[in-house]
């Protein structure tokens, strides 16, 4: 069964760069019915979709992040990554990697989630 595991620094300085990686196990990142993404949960707030990347590298980002985000896929390592630039305290969150799967024609669901990793932005 497919599993996802986030990794990366738990502390990032303000104006710095947040970089996280998600390792995919139990399945291939190159599956044509899968889209890989990141979602975060700021403390005391609700879930926020950050963006999605396909195995072929097509990306979709949340415009609320004002162009500070990039995502990529490394098929050789079966993993994908998130980079968020110029971070502030508002970027402090639990970050989840996820799989959005095409369940049927035009039907989707985020059916697999990583356990989440806490990232704090502080000097």
Partner 1 sequence: AIQMTQSPSSLSASVGDRVTLTCRASQDIRSDLGWYQQKPGKAPKFLIFAASSLHGGVPSRFSGSGSGTDFTLTISSLQPEDFATYYCLQDYSYPLTFGPGTKVDIK
Contact footprint for partner 1 (CB under 8 A): 39, 41, 46-49, 52, 60-64, 96, 100, 103-104, 106-111, 113-116
Task: Round to whole Å and give the CA distance between 50 and 36.
Answer: 11
Q: How far apart are CA 24 and CA 83, in angstroms?
A: 18
Nearer to partner 1, 12 or 69 (CB): 69
Q: How far is the CB of 77 from partner 1 (least distance, A)?
A: 22
Distance of closest approach, residue 36 Cβ to partner 1, in angstroms: 13
Report which of 38, 13, 22 is spatially closest to residue 92, judged by C-alpha positions: 13
Two structure tokens written together for 100: 């959005």
Q: Minimum CB separation from partner 1 for residue 47, in Å? A: 4
Closer to partner 1 at the Cβ: 11 or 47? 47
Strand-pair category, 11-12 with 117-121: parallel
């Amino acid at each position: 069964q497919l599993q996802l595991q986030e990794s990366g620094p738990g502390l990032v300085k303000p104006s710095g760069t947040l970089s996280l990686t998600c390792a995919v196990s139990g399945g291939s990142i190159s599956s044509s019915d899968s889209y890989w993404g990141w979602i975060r949960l700021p403390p005391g707030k609700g879930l926020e979709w950050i963006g999605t990347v396909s195995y072929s590298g097509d990306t979709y980002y949340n415009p609320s992040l004002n162009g500070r985000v990039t995502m990529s896929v490394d098929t050789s390592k079966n993993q994908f990554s998130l980079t968020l630039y110029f971070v502030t305290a508002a970027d402090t969150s639990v970050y989840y990697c996820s799989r959005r799967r095409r369940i049927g024609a035009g039907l989707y669901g985020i059916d697999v989630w990583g356990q989440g990793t806490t990232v704090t932005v502080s000097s």
